[in-house]
Each structure stands twice: as C-alpha cells, then as structure tokens.
Amino acid sequence: MSIQWYPGHMNAAKKKAAEQMENIDLVIEVVDARLPEASTNPMVDELRKFRQRPCLKILNKIDLADPVATSQWADFYNAQDGVTAYPMTTKKPADVARVLDLARRLAPHRSVPTKPLRIMIMGIPNVGKSTLMNALLKKRVAKVGDEPAVTKQQQKLYLDKNTILVDTPGMLWPKIALPTDGLMLAASHAIGSNALIEEEVAVYLADEMLRYYPDLLVARYGFKEIETFDGIAVVEGIAAKRGFRQKGGDFDFEKASHTFLGDYRSGILGRISLETPASRAERLAAHEAE
C-alpha cells in the first residue's frame, strides 16, 4: 500500500496549530461524516485539550452519508469531553445558519464586544472547510475586521460584531492510524490516488458495499446474483455492463474502477458511510491484536 501523504508537513503544521490555538476560544473541526475517525487528525484534540478549548465537531457532507451511521457518530462525539457534534451539509443554508449559534453556546463567556468569540476552523483537506468558511462569511456583517491583521496569514474576519473567524482554516494532514484509513480517504477523495491504487480502492469500496449496502449496488448497476460476488467481481461487472474493454478484449478494470469511485464520490450510489463507531472499534481491536 503506497498511498501518499506528506509527514514532512506535519511538524510545521503542528507548530502553527499550537500557536493559533492560544489565540482562539473555540475550534470548529470539520470531518467527513462518512469517515469521521479516518478523516480526523488527533492533533486537533491533543492541542485543544492542552489549551482547554471546546470543539464544535462538524460531521460534514451528511447528504452523502448514511443517516443511521451519522446519528451513531453524533452520539459518540457528544459523549466526549468538551465536544459538541453537529451533523450538517454546507449545501443547506439552514444548516450553515446554525453553526454560529452552536459555537456561541460552547463558549458562553465570550461573544461580547469586549471579548469577541474567536473561532478557528480546522480539518484535513477536502472535508469542506473552505466551503463552510465562505458560507459563513456570506452572512457576516462586516467584510473584513477593522483591526489591522497581525500577520498576513492570520487575518481576522468578523462574522458579526461579537464573533471573529481566523481567516485561514487550520489545514492538517490525515493520520493514517489503520490501513483501511488510507483506503477510505482515497475513496472519499481526501487524498489522491494513482491508477494502480485506484483499482485497490475500488475493490475495497466494492467489498464494503457488498457487506453493508448490497442493495445499492444492485440498484445502480443491475447486478444479478450479487450473493456470489466479491469486490473484484463487482468492478468487473461494472466493466461488463458499461462495455469497458481493453484492446485485447479483457475488461478495462482501471476505467471501471474510476467510474465506480466517481459514482461513489458524487453520491449517485446513495448515502454510504465507510465506518461506524462499532466498525471502527472492531477494526482497532483487530489491528491491535495483530
């Protein structure tokens, strides 16, 4: 497995995040609701606990996630100290509109003009940080804070007169704690994958869907006798249905993998979560036993 991520960035990112944490009151951590643990970085928790900052944990992209799994994750995170979970999608203005209210409730000692609530959005790439930030900024009263920026990287944007948003989201790299994390992140497109890996990711996703969402595979691709399929058969089946063949006549596995992953990422396949608190615990236990 050679999914690429860049540990070299880690130290610089951690240093920056630690500095930023000192000057804020609340962390909004955005994760992907379909893979909340695989798409978190434990550094957020480590740093915010050290500074005793509360966290609004946004389980974003619920439009793509399985509602049952999402609700289990919300319970899971709400049971954690200092954490409030908020399942939402940036696609719904009504969901975005609630973010500030929830944020204020988490730091009730702030949110007055002399002590504005200072918020930083954090998360790994592609979970929706910029989209959320832009959506929040559309609602703001003033365009840019009147205080001079401390540094170019840390401008302050007023969301309203009592609430400041640090202008750059704290970008962190995923921490791949389990081998399946890399596969989940690649399936959701949080990390890139080359053609070879894409085939592996497609087979992984197919196996997961066979286990948890076989009906959705049948609905999309019209497979018959899916009980006899394994992950490879699913991808080959897509190649067969779509007529994806190589010059010699063999199935074009690469093209079928790409199509399948595209269908997953766009939500055409349905609302599919890649982990639940139970499946995560199971995988962690199995990994530790190895």
Chain residues that interact with ligand GDP, rule: CB under 6 A = 60-61, 63-64, 89-91, 123, 125-131
Cα 211 to the center of its chain, rounded Å: 22
Give the nearer residue to ligand GDP in terms of CB position, either 91 or 242. 91
Cβ closer to ligand GDP: 87 or 237?
A: 87
Residue found by looking up tokens 């401390």 in the block: 150
60 a known binding residue? yes
The answer to whether the annotation marks 128 as part of a ligand binding site is yes
Report, in Å, the least distance between residue 44 CB and ligand GDP: 13
Please report how close the Cβ of residue 190 comes to ligand GDP at its closest, in angstroms.
8
DSSP state of 217: H
Residue 276 phi/psi, 5-degree rounding, is -125, 165
Asked if 89 and 32 touch (Cβ cutoff 8 Å), the reply is no
Would you say 127 is a known binding-site residue?
Answer: yes
CA distances from 130 to 133, 168, 170, 184, 209 (A): 5, 9, 10, 21, 30
Nearer to ligand GDP among residue 126 and residue 259 (C-beta): 126
Tell whether 62 is in a known binding site.
yes
Classify each residue of 16-34 as buried b or exposed e, where b means 16 or more C-beta atoms within 10 Å of its C-beta.
bbeebbeebbbbbbbbbbb
C-beta closer to ligand GDP: residue 173 or 253: 173
Question: Apex CA 14: angle with CA 61 and CA 145, to 5°?
Answer: 70
Least spacing, CB of residue 186 vs ligand GDP, in Å: 15
Question: Is 130 one of the annotated binding-site residues?
Answer: yes
Q: How far is the CB of 128 from ligand GDP (least distance, A)?
A: 3
CB of 222 to ligand GDP, least distance (A): 25
**Is 182 labeled as ligand-binding?**
no
Nearest distance from C-beta of residue 136 to ligand GDP, angstroms: 12
Mode of pairing for the β-strands spanning 163-166 and 156-160: antiparallel
Output 63 or 207, the one with its CB closest to ligand GDP: 63
**Cα gap 176→19, rounded to integer Å:** 24
Nearest to ligand GDP of 95, 236 (CB atom) = 95
What is the C-alpha separation between 1 and 88, in angstroms, rounded? Answer: 32
Cα 9–chain centre separation: 19
Strand, coil or helix: what is 99? helix
Q: Does the annotation list 112 as a binding residue?
A: no
User: Would the annotation count 63 as a binding residue?
Assistant: yes
Structure tokens given for 41: 């970085």
Annotated binding site for GTP: 60-63, 126-131, 170
Annotated binding site: 60-63, 126-131, 170
